[in-house]
Structure 1
Amino acid sequence: MTDAVTDPRFVGWHVEDDAHRAMPHRLYTLVFPMDSARSRVLLGMKKRGFGSGKLNGFGGKVEPAETVEQGAIRELAEESGLVAAAAARCGLLLFYFEDSPVAMEVHVFQAREYSGVPVETDEMRPEWFGVDSMPFDRMWADDHIWWPLMMRGDLFVGRFWFKADQVTITRSELDRVDSLDFAQ
C-alpha cells in the first residue's frame, strides 16, 4: 500500500479534505464495456473476494509499474476475456468504510472498442444488461447515484462513506466536473 500523497498515480487527494487526504489509499480501476449499438453494458457477477455476490464493472488493483489506464485494460482482459483498444476515464470514486483506515480510490472507465467474447473467469461471470434497465438492486449501493452522470457523458467525482456492512451509505458527495485532468 502506498501513501496517496507520495505516489503521483493517486489523485484522490486533489478532491479530499485534510483528514481523508492523510489516509492511506489503495488504487483501483472499474471498467464498463459498452455496446452502444445495442444500448447495453457488460457487468460481471463477482464470484469471490471483496464485493462477492454483487454485479459490477470489471477492475481491480493497479500494479506498481502500470498507469491507471493500463491497469484498467489489463483487469478487463483478466476478468472478462475482452481486450480493450483503449479505456476512456469518466469518473473518480472515493470510498471510506467505517471499519477500514484505508480509502479506496477507484478510477472509472468506459471501454467502447474491444475485441473478444466475454468469458466466465474464476472471479467474474459476465452478463449484458440494457443501460436503461440496470439491476441496481444487485449492485453496490452507490452505483445508482453516479450512473446517470456517466450515461449522460458527464465527468464526475464522488465520495461515499459506508457502514461496516458495506451496504449502508452514511454520507455521499457527487459532483460533475469539467475535467479529470488531475487524474492523469
Structure 2
Amino acid sequence: MKKRGFGHGKFNGFGGKVEEGETILQGAHRELEEEAFVTTPELHRVGLLLFTFENDPKALEVHVFLTKTYNGEPKESEEMRPEWFSYDAIPFDTMWADDKYWLPILLQGKRFVGRFDLKQDQSTIIKEELKAIDTELPSEWEL
C-alpha cells in the first residue's frame, strides 16, 4: 500500500525514480531496499510500460522487474506498507487501473510491453495497447 506521493492509497509495486548516476536496475534494487527493507540477488526485467496523462506533456516509462527470492523480512516504511495477496484475491479495485491488464500476464510467467493513455484523473484509461512477448524487451521506447 502506497502511503504517500504519487499513487497514494493504492496497492502498488515497489519502485520510483532512478537517481542521477545509477542504472534502472540499480534504482530498482535501491527502491526495493528503501521501501520494504529487503534485498534480492536478482531482478529480472519482465515488462516495459509507457504511460501518458491527458494534458501532460511528459510520459512515464516504467520498467517492471520480478524476483522470486529476497533477503530479509518485508517491513513497513514511510513510503509503503507491504501486504501479500493470493492470486485469486488481488485487489485490482484499489490498484492502478492498468494493473488488471498486465499483472495477469506477469503472473503467467510472460514478458510484456504496453502503453496506457489515461485521463487527467489518472484512473480512466483512454486507450491501451498491451502484448505478451517471447523476445527480450527493448532497451528503450522508440517514439
Normalised by the length of structure 2, the TM-score is 0.93
CA distance in 2, matches of 1:183, 1:154: 17
Match of 2:62 among 96, 106, 127: 106
How many residues get paired?
Answer: 140
Q: Which residue of 2 aligns with 1:120?
A: 76
Which runs of 5 or more residues in structure 1 are unaligned? 1-44
- Structure 1 residue 181: Cα displacement: 4.3
SS in 2 for 1:166: coil
State whether structure 2 residue 121 is matched by structure 1 residue 170. no
Q: Match for 2:30: what amino acid?
A: R
Normalised by the length of structure 1, the TM-score is 0.73
- Contact conserved, 1:80 with 1:119, CA < 8 A, in 2? yes
SS in 1 for 2:56: coil
- Structure 1 residue 178: Cα displacement: 2.1
Q: Which residue of 2 aligns with 1:149?
A: 105
- Structure 1 residue 132: Cα displacement: 2.6
Q: Provide the aligned C-alpha RMSD in A.
A: 1.2
User: For residues 96-132 of structure 1, what are the alpha-carbon distances to aligned partners after superposition, in whole Å with 9 as ceiling and x for unaligned?
Assistant: 0013111100000112111011111111111111123
State whether structure 2 residue 6 is matched by structure 1 residue 50. yes
Alignment of 1:34-49 (within 5 A): 45-49=1-5
SS in 2 for 1:47: coil
CA distance in 1, matches of 2:70, 2:33: 10
- Contact conserved, 1:91 with 1:180, CA < 8 A, in 2? no
- Give 1 or 2: higher strand fraction: 1
State whether structure 2 residue 107 is matched by structure 1 residue 158. no
